[in-house]
A and B are shown apart, each in its own frame.
Chain A
């Protein structure tokens, strides 16, 4: 039976993607809405898309049920199928829509009008790659080129007059065999590293960390989409900095003061050691409430940025989140001293609702 559901199903998915685009701001500020499901797929619960009808107010309609219970016994919150004794109305079920990362990236790009990232012009980063472009006379049987072999055999049989038009059987012999062969070529490859730095001092609460977690989801998604190979690296700091894994990065909570330069120093060491800037596209995202220790640390930071980071990284993004103690003045200093730098992006994130705008600012440069 030739069914055509695929057509309507695809159209429905288009509409769903449109809805997600419309509500992207909401999805970006409420991470729990996106449920990762297996590799490279997220699931998004959506309310049923309804075609409006004249209908009764379900809350006023009530209905008939069956079973035990005294008068006044609660039987459900809103989920009772209002006015549906005849069972023709679906309840208010949520629909889970699965999207691949690829589709999500597309939505992100369209909605935020993000330009494609152009990797740094480092044409000297090559990798050896085999490509099957040639034909050889010998090789493993698994690479035998059937069509070429057949042609060779046919040619030989025709020339030798062995081809019988009545009984056109072509039998290749050893010499007819042709095999696919490969050539090794040097292909430029784009590698990227995303370096996250977060302030875990006492003033950064769970809500601030949630903002960072949500931002990192979208940043990862976007940068991974553009590079074949992407590494991530997480640094936390209060007065001192250390490298941690992803889990710890979002969980860790330390007390103490804030010395941002400690993270910058550690970050630079890691870059020099593991991600040399002439081989890697480097992205640094730093989040803090901006309340830096004022014993001259900010000056050290600016110096580090000016001398090491800005000349070497693709992008340095600083997001200043507002904590219970307000928002510090670190961002002002950066703005004042380094505001002209093309690859430095500063963004103030006062609440979850502003994630959308800060992502747009961070990724909007196409770097």
Chain B
């Protein structure tokens, strides 16, 4: 593999770093490591971390990655870990052109990690933390046995999505101790100027009714949780009857879930951003004449999508380019919106040159959801031939259903809301005053996968140890799925 030397790579890193700063990017300190494909595949199975807790699912992931590598379907050129310093792994078999492109790509990711608001609360010592998680779980395995710990991990991993992404930023009420409920004063009679008016101003039946109402309120306990709780993992950690080690493991899974959440929430933006910058830095500074063809080949490989599929790299990249162009040419604001002369629009150029400024601003504040919501325009949708597909029960095929801009956008937003996972709350932790758990699915038009939901309910039951209910909508009917430890029940609601 003598296509390049380590000194050459070091020089490239230094060179790219200078261009990156010059362009206004602000990456974390980034450590580069060169690894062979086996190590890369292993790292990829562990999401880039050298140490993770023991679990077979990583082994399965590894087998997938290894097979797709072996069949030449998929090759991982690089990987970056959001950590301070950031760790970047470069594949040993990359050519020098690959390495240049990939190093620029990595610096842009690193910049995104550092500067996007949604990452501002992530643990930047996650490599250490992951290693600690591994050590902790290893101790439990030694103490309680591998089967016990593994089956508990299986349960936890089944629930790992049940977090509240926004709670990193908004401290919720339920985090605090529920306030002591003040005893309500019994109804006070109004002042009466003349005693004979008393029965008219304070009618005794009314006073009596008020008294009873207050009494009733005092006797009913406050709801639990006080407000519906979206961080179901936290709720379970705090209230489920778990052993101490089980709480620790559940907290570990929750921590890791929160750590990965921003990456899931910015996949399109982040990959698009890195692609945008590697393209810009390669074509402006790094590329030498004999390298152009090879670079073009690799770059188009990054942006390629199988027919009819959407490639997040491409979508992100094209959107960033679109935003840059629109703000450079002043194609935004009420004047632009109001104009419906296509000829004028096609020529529109106010020469504002605000493109770069705008994309840096967006890179700081947006996530995929707001990114698509704000910047996916009708023109973009048409130019890139986006469409909505739907499963057709009659033919058994997925078919193109609609090319309408609003529909496309709606579908994309739906898929990005809550990471494309159903939104589920804890509604009542003491349902029917029998200590049962009542969950509610906020139905937004798409039904749950019922067999999966039933299996997941089983897992929640395993933690809660009392019957678990899930309210949802199945084919336009409100239904409650229940698992009581022995069997599943499905009840239609009135």
Contact = CB atoms under 8 A, between A and B. Distances in A.
Contacts of A51: 57, 154, 157-158
Nearest to A65: B308
B64 A71 contact: no
Contacts of A64: 310, 386-389, 408, 411-412, 415
A4 B307 CA distance: 38
B225 interface: no
A75 B308 contact: yes
Given A64-B412, A74-B397, A88-B264, A56 B420 contact: yes
A9 B62 contact: yes
A134 B412 CA distance: 77
Contact of B400 (A12, A56, A73): A73
Contacts of A77: 396-398
B450 interface: yes
Interface stretch (B216-224, B275-283, B352-360, B453-461): B453-461
A76 B310 contact: no
A3 interface: yes
B97 interface: no
A57 to B, nearest CB: 5
Contact of B60 (A12, A52, A57): A12
A76 B398 contact: yes
Contacts of A70: 400
Contacts of A15: 56
Interface string A35-71: 0000000000000110111111111111111111111
- Which interface residue of B385, B390, B393, B398 has the most chain A CB atoms within 10 A? B398
Contact of B267 (A7, A14, A86): A86
A11 B411 contact: no
A93 interface: yes
Nearest to B53: A8
A85 B311 CA distance: 8
A295 interface: no
Contacts of B60: 12, 48-49, 95
A62 B416 contact: no
Given A76-B398, A83-B420, A54 B453 contact: yes
A19 to B, nearest CB: 11
B330 interface: no
A90 interface: yes
Interface string A273-299: 000000000000000000000000000
B50 A1 contact: yes
A82 to B, nearest CB: 8
B337 to A, nearest CB: 24
B56 A8 contact: yes
- Which interface residue of A48, A62, A81 has the most chain B CB atoms within 10 A? A62
B59 A8 contact: yes
Contacts of B35: 1
A44 B393 CA distance: 30
B215 interface: no
Contacts of A81: 309
Contacts of B402: 71
Given A1-B39, A12-B59, A66-B386, A54 B422 contact: yes
B18 to A, nearest CB: 29
B421 A55 contact: yes
A13 B162 CA distance: 29
Contact of A60 (B268, B314, B416, B447): B447
Nearest to A7: B54
Interface string B27-61: 00000000100010011011000110011111110
Is chain A's interface secondary structure helix, strand, loop, or mixed overall? loop
A55 B449 contact: yes
B239 interface: no
B171 to A, nearest CB: 25
A9 B150 CA distance: 14
Contacts of B441: 54
Contacts of B67: 95-96
Contact of B389 (A10, A48, A62, A93): A62
Interface in A66-110: 66-78, 80-90, 93, 95-97
Contact of A56 (B45, B46, B447): B447
B152 interface: no
A159 interface: no
Contacts of A80: 308-309, 389, 398
Interface string B280-323: 00000000000000000000000001011111101100000000
A8 B55 contact: yes
B446 A74 contact: no
B319 to A, nearest CB: 13
Contact of B421 (A5, A49, A53, A60): A53
B63 A12 contact: yes
Nearest to B472: A54
- Which interface residue of B305, B368, B389, B459 has the most chain A CB atoms within 10 A? B389
Nearest to A70: B400
B446 to A, nearest CB: 5
B419 interface: yes
Contact of B56 (A12, A54, A57): A12
A76 B308 contact: yes
Contact of B161 (A1, A7, A53, A84): A53
A263 to B, nearest CB: 45
Contacts of B43: 3
Contact of B415 (A10, A49, A86): A86
B456 A52 contact: yes
A72 B397 CA distance: 10
A54 B150 CA distance: 20
A48 B60 CA distance: 8
A102 B316 CA distance: 49
A245 B140 CA distance: 58
Nearest to B450: A57
Contacts of A8: 45, 54-59, 62
Given A5-B42, A84-B420, A56 B449 contact: yes
Interface string B259-271: 0000010011000
A53 B420 contact: no
Contact of A87 (B159, B267, B308, B386): B267
Nearest to A49: B60
B378 interface: no
Nearest to A89: B420
A53 B408 CA distance: 26
Contacts of B157: 51
Given A5-B42, A70-B400, A88 B419 contact: yes
A9 to B, nearest CB: 4
Contacts of A85: 268, 310, 312, 315, 412, 415-416, 420
Those 8 A-B pairs whose CB atoms lie nearest each other, nearest first: A12-B59, A52-B455, A8-B59, A74-B397, A9-B59, A62-B390, A12-B56, A75-B308
11 contacts: A5-B58, A8-B57, A9-B59, A53-B159, A55-B421, A55-B448, A72-B399, A85-B310, A85-B420, A86-B416, A87-B267
Interface of B: 35, 39, 42-43, 45-46, 50-51, 54-60, 62-64, 67, 150, 154, 157-162, 264, 267-268, 305, 307-312, 314-315, 368, 384-393, 395-403, 408, 411-412, 415-416, 419-422, 424, 441, 446-450, 452-453, 455-456, 459
Given A7-B59, A57-B448, 13 more contacts: A3-B39, A3-B50, A8-B45, A12-B63, A56-B421, A56-B447, A60-B391, A62-B401, A65-B308, A66-B311, A66-B314, A75-B308, A81-B309
